[in-house]
Structure 1
Amino acid sequence: MRIGELSRTTGVPVPTIKYYVREGLMPPGELTSPNQATYGEAHERRLRLIRALLDVGGMKVAEIADVLTAIDDPVRPLHKVLGAAADRLGNVGVEHDDTESAAAQAVVADLVSRRGWRTHDSDPAAADLSMALASMARLGHGAFVEVLDDYADAAEQVARADLGYVDRRVSVEDMVESVVIGTVLGEAVFNALRRLAHVDASAKLYGADGPPEQKTN
């Protein structure tokens, strides 16, 4: 495909794609003439990965370049790169109006309902979770939702532990591409789940309908 088609397929502007090529984030297209190049599935996949790390992972271009270098050089130890990437994760993201986003939002709404969490699907953390799951689906990792309840179980446990240690102010702080997806985007998923679980656990412990012994007369 030409660069224009790649842009339409991924939603990334042509100038941005050219910038990523100049910065070495993705390889150039295959030249078919001095001024024309074609791009394939590998370019589309790499572009979606870049956008996922940028939009969901909240990473800077230089940080993304470091992670992509690790993907392209599997001999390089990944734990240092991924550890640094996880430390820079943020909650700034861009929602997409596509099938993956709609499906992810439905999954999150169902999760919150099934688990009886005292929160709602319009919570900012729910939006972060939806964006992370949708990005995973676009990268071919949609099956991640099959382990979502396991993450939710862990999130609830961590939330209870966090609140139990609140007075002490204790901070609770893997194929190569799969390592990046599971670590970077998986971290975004878990952080969003953890925040949702915090809302529920806090409401149960400190809300108006919490344990009688926690209320004051």
Structure 2
Amino acid sequence: MPVPTIKYYVREGLLPPGELTSPNQASYDETHERRLRLVRALLDVGGMRVAEIANVLAAIDDPARPLHKVLGAAADPLGTAHDEHEDTEAASAHAVVADLVSRRGWQVHESNPAAADLSKALAALGRLGHSAFVEVLDTYADAAEQVARADLAYVARCVAVEDMVESVVIGTVLGEAVFSALRRLAHVDASARMYGTDGSKEHETS
């Protein structure tokens, strides 16, 4: 890590100052190293802005903040931008998401960024003539619950809160890439089983 970068993080409040060992030198310990690793994960993997990272670090350093809230502070900024469309499809999608959350008893506030992302995706499907996709939404939700439990079981292996937050960020961003790849592989297999007639092993591409 370049020294100017470390000094910048200290100035921005992302990293506590090191212990001065001379007028122009400071010593940094394992705690600083862990915090640096977390900051880099939030920046490079999570794509967060400095202000967002400061909010996450403030949540970590707040002893009164429940762990659930700390992990939420790390995961919430990872969503995409809100849909700018405010048409019939958008209104219908918002209602579908609200009903899904309510029916499944999910402890999620309606303002959660993930709910907005889901509404955005459903609205886009509706505009493309695939509004019937909502019929399989509960099946997707079943799979999502199973994956979420696996994610949190993995995070629970960590001891330090910083390591937990790092796991949430990396697991959310890269875990979605892993799940997407697995889903595509499963698509190829399901397609071969449902529509394949010659038992060939040829790759299918999209």
Q: 1:166 to 1:35 in 2, by over 3 A?
A: farther
Residue among 24, 27, 44 paired with 1:35: 24
Residue 64 of structure 2 is matched in structure 1 by: 75
Residue 167 of structure 1 is matched in structure 2 by: 133
2:69 maps to amino acid: K
Residue 200 of structure 1 is matched in structure 2 by: 185
* Matched position secondary structure for 2:20: strand
Partners of 2:22 and 2:28 in 1: CA distance: 13
Partners of 2:164 and 2:28 in 1: CA distance: 25
Residue 5 of structure 2 is matched in structure 1 by: 16
Deviation at 1:19, TM superposition (A): 0.9
Q: 1:210 to 1:20 in 2, by over 3 A?
A: same
* Matched position secondary structure for 1:32: strand
Q: 1:166 to 1:36 in 2, by over 3 A?
A: farther
- Do 1:66 and 1:81's aligned partners in 2 also have CA atoms closer than 8 Å? no
- Do 1:57 and 1:90's aligned partners in 2 also have CA atoms closer than 8 Å? no
- Do 2:46 and 2:173's aligned partners in 1 also have CA atoms closer than 8 Å? yes
Identity, in percent, stands at 59
1:183 aligns with 2:168: yes
Deviations 1:5-56 (A, max 9, x none): xxxxxxx222221110001111111112322222222222211111112112
Q: Figure out how many residues of one structure are paired with residues of the other and give that number.
A: 128
2:36 maps to amino acid: L
Deviations 1:87-120 (A, max 9, x none): 33379xxxxxxxxxxxxxxxxxxxxxxxxxxxxx
1:86 maps to amino acid: A
1:50 aligns with 2:47: no
Q: Which moved more, 1:78-87 or 1:28-37?
A: 78-87
- Do 2:46 and 2:170's aligned partners in 1 also have CA atoms closer than 8 Å? yes
Q: 1:35 to 1:213 in 2, by over 3 A?
A: closer
Residue among 191, 195, 198 paired with 1:212: 195
1:59 aligns with 2:42: no
Q: How does 1:114-133 map to 2 (within 5 A)?
A: none
Partners of 2:19 and 2:79 in 1: CA distance: 35
Give 1 or 2 for the bigger CA radius of gyration: 2
- Do 1:26 and 1:46's aligned partners in 2 also have CA atoms closer than 8 Å? yes
- Do 1:24 and 1:65's aligned partners in 2 also have CA atoms closer than 8 Å? yes
Partners of 1:80 and 1:204 in 2: CA distance: 39
1:201 maps to amino acid: A
Structure 2: 5+ residue stretches without partners: 81-130, 145-155, 198-206
TM-score, L = length of structure 1: 0.49
1:204 maps to amino acid: D
1:197 maps to amino acid: L
Deviations 1:166-217 (A, max 9, x none): 82273756553343134322323431221111111221234xx342389xxx
Deviation at 1:72, TM superposition (A): 1.9
